[in-house]
Amino acid sequence: MLRRGSALSGHAIICGAGIGGLSAALALHARGWSVQVIEQAEELREVGAGLQLSPNACKVLQALDVLPELDALSFAPQALEMRLGRSGQSIFRIALQAPAAARWNAPYLHLHRADLLQVLTQSLMIRVPGALRLNARLEQLKHSASGVEVKLSCGQRLHGDLLIGADGIHSRVREILFGPDRPRFTGHVAWRAVAPVEALGQHRPPPSACVWTGPQRHAVTYRLRGGALANFVGVIEQAHWERESWHEQGPREQVLADFAGWHPIVTRLIESAAVHHRWALFDRPPLTSWQHRHCVLLGDACHPMLPFMAQGAAMAIEDAWALASSLDAAAQISPALARYESWRKPRTSRVQAASRANAKVFHRPAPAYWPLWLLARLWPDFFHRRQDWLYAYDVTDPTSENT
């Protein structure tokens, strides 16, 4: 039942218990909504991989009151570095932790995805017992006079005042609302792996977010879980791919062949990882609309992006916060959803474009990096300034999202 008082509230069905869906459940619950998260998976099982959470995302997680638990599980990188992939020669190294606190008012953290999902899930279970329902796949939806009716694959029907499609790049909610479309292969394939730092001997990755560059490929190394684990992401350009999946694995020999001749910090990490996951990276052209009547999309469901700005999860977390803020300030659902879309689209489109542009920055031959090397020495503040629009996100002012 929809309630209109000083703030709008009611019952929200959230499709998808990923980072975006769980953040939305916490944000809406904090504003007086009753929430039900439906997740198709039988259990919440996350493949081993790391995630960078920049200050803009951390500010929202702080507002959702989950940051202290995450702090204990994370690793705070000292710097952002770029190195040449083969020689390891430094192109630039800029401080990250001190400016994150002083300039952007929140930490920059590295986390295991499983740890982030677990903290978000547990916080929801404690605050709203029974809010998460597993093995519940949204199959169909129908608009009703008072809201929306959802049909699950088991045949059960649920009714809500609001439906949030936080169901990822293959979003069923998006397909029902706006028709089928095919994801677009971006010509990039990403390897992901983790290894215990103690297995790496003298070839431990630096305590930074380190991008290793090379022609047609790059790698990113960083540490997780207080520094005990090392994370590897390796991206190569490839002409074709058949399907997008979060669970595909590949042989260690193939990853080593892709990064043959690279610095031992990179190759030792690949050798020491037990499992090597492989993702083909897809995106979609921007959607004309993210919302219809009492249904709305967030996260990868509406703006999937290449991971080259490390912002996909961060944007889903910001979306969740902005959606709850917009509903809080509204008298009716539909205008609030339209306003949320107008706040979020310019910013997420800009991040999508910047992520695509970074593919070109990271995949050049060594001599192309000399201007960057020179710039870093002459004007170190340049890199911090360039991140201001992204990291200086203000949770108290959702319109700042358009900056």
Q: Which two tokens stand for residue 108?
A: 């920059």
- For 33, which DSSP code? -
d(CA 94, CA 280): 30
Helix (H) or strand (E) holding 314: helix 312-328
Helix (H) or strand (E) holding 320: helix 312-328
Residue 318: CB minimum distance to ligand FAD, A: 10
Residue 113: CB minimum distance to ligand FAD, A: 7
Neighbours of 126 (CB within 10 A): 8
Site residues for ligand FAD per CB under 6 A: 15-21, 38-41, 51-52, 137-138, 166-168, 172, 190, 192, 233, 279, 299-301, 307, 310-314, 316
CB 48 within 8 A of CB 71: no
* Residues belonging to the active site: 222
Residue 347: CB minimum distance to ligand FAD, A: 14
Closest CA to 344 of 284, 289, 285: 289
d(CA 152, CA 383): 48
Q: Which is nearer to ligand FAD, 2 or 94 (CB)?
A: 94
Q: Which is nearer to ligand FAD, 9 or 352 (CB)?
A: 352
* 79-84/208-214 β-pairing: parallel
Which residue in this structure is represented by tokens 């203000």? 394
Q: Which is nearer to ligand FAD, 330 or 343 (CB)?
A: 343
Residue 51: CB minimum distance to ligand FAD, A: 5
Q: Which is nearer to ligand FAD, 39 or 161 (CB)?
A: 39
CA 10 to chain centre: 27
Q: Which is nearer to ligand FAD, 89 or 156 (CB)?
A: 156
- For 68, which DSSP code? H
Cα dihedral sign, 63-64-65-66? negative
Residue 317: CB minimum distance to ligand FAD, A: 8
